[in-house]
Chains A and B, each alone.
Chain A
């Protein structure tokens, strides 16, 4: 099994998603919440979340609730991994230096 490709195509929308998670790196956010924070449309948001997840920057899991008791379906929650946190830090640091390596 080869090493996981952690490259992520960096775009302005991707940066905004990362920024939303970096506000509190330990928090878990559903796609709907990320949309509310970033204002990114669903057509752009979910591919970004999937890219970050497949690159190992995010992990996702189902919300641990009882849908019948909560009265709503369970949501998929995303969270930054340590790898994602490190890479996201590098990305924003390179922006601070004025260079996108």
Chain B
């Protein structure tokens, strides 16, 4: 039973190309119809594969369309008064109608390309609009107060010594142009006792310590006044700690001990402190310059 069904299906499939050829030949011009059908059926027999036969039959359908078009065009050409110069015409010499098969194909392909291009552009524009982030919104960001760094005094000389700093014995240091702005500060205020001696085995020795500070050639505060602060009238004092060697050069990066409350001014004070490296007066102990750390204030004040 199943074999019979298989055979009938095979027969049906094999008859499709013949049916197609019959239909195609039937649409051909009457003078060619029977001839073409017999010719195509005979040529169909030279093919054994089912797909090849089907392809051949479909080609015959297409051939019929071309033959019919050729015949119609032949009538138009025959009516043309222009006589041929040669025995054949070139591709350039073709005289197609406005809507010949090839023209229609060309228009179809061009239309498909246009539709594809339009679809692509439309899709891209949609994707771009979806991917565009929302408008940026401005938020006021509160300035973060500078971190209070505890004063760390490096150097073993401050750990086990009683340091009594007296007022300078020397004449008052040369008045700096920035003296109003840069103010020596903790911990080396002259005349202040910082700590008590821890060890009393050895005879106590009172060290005359003279705290250092900015000296001649120290940069002007005005040169470091942030322009935005000048425009907005910001004023304040920032206390900066510096560590200085015996030649007045910084031995580490300055830090803010006490901020002014305005970040810009604190940063400007640090810049000023860095720029002043080499122009610091070293702390002296018994008249000898020593490495030390001290703080001083930098006041930013606008002239009235």
Chain A contacts to B: CB under 8 angstroms? 5-11, 30-32, 35, 41-47, 50-51, 54, 63, 72-76, 83, 86-87, 90-91, 100-101
Contact = CB atoms under 8 A, between A and B. Distances in A.
Interface in B6-49: 32, 35-36, 38-43, 45-47
A40 B260 CA distance: 93
Contacts of B59: 41-45
A91 B91 contact: no
A76 B35 contact: yes
A16 B91 CA distance: 15
Interface of B: 32, 35-36, 38-43, 45-47, 55-56, 58-63, 66-67, 70, 74, 77-78, 84, 86-91, 94
B43 A7 contact: no
Nearest to B36: A46
Nearest to A51: B70
Given A41-B59, A43-B58, A46-B63, A5 B84 contact: yes
B70 A7 contact: no
A31 B59 CA distance: 13
A49 to B, nearest CB: 9
B46 A9 contact: no
A47 B42 contact: no
Contacts of A100: 90
16 contacts: A7-B87, A7-B89, A10-B91, A41-B55, A42-B40, A42-B59, A42-B63, A43-B62, A44-B59, A46-B67, A47-B70, A50-B67, A50-B70, A74-B38, A87-B88, A101-B86
* For the complex of A and B, 10 pairs with smallest distance between CB atoms: A42-B59, A43-B62, A43-B59, A76-B39, A32-B43, A73-B42, A32-B46, A47-B66, A46-B63, A75-B42
B78 A7 contact: no
A12 B279 CA distance: 94
A72 B77 CA distance: 39
B88 A43 contact: no
A100 B35 CA distance: 34
Please classify the interface of chain B as helix (H, G, I), strand (E, B), loop, or mixed, using the class held by over half of its residues: helix
B66 A43 contact: yes
A99 B62 CA distance: 32
B58 to A, nearest CB: 7
**Most chain A Cβ neighbours within 10 Å, of B39, B84, B94:** B39
A85 to B, nearest CB: 12
B103 to A, nearest CB: 15
Given A10-B88, A42-B56, A87-B87, 12 more contacts: A7-B87, A9-B88, A9-B89, A32-B43, A35-B43, A42-B55, A43-B61, A44-B63, A46-B39, A46-B40, A50-B70, A101-B90
Given A7-B88, A46-B40, A101-B86, A72 B45 contact: yes
A73 B36 CA distance: 13
Contact of A50 (B32, B47, B90): B32
Contacts of B66: 43-44, 47
A70 to B, nearest CB: 11
A75 B91 contact: no
B131 to A, nearest CB: 48
A5 B84 CA distance: 8
Contacts of A30: 42-43, 46
B106 to A, nearest CB: 16
Contacts of B86: 7, 101
B95 to A, nearest CB: 10
A76 B87 contact: no
Given A6-B87, A50-B70, A76 B60 contact: no
A41 B55 CA distance: 9
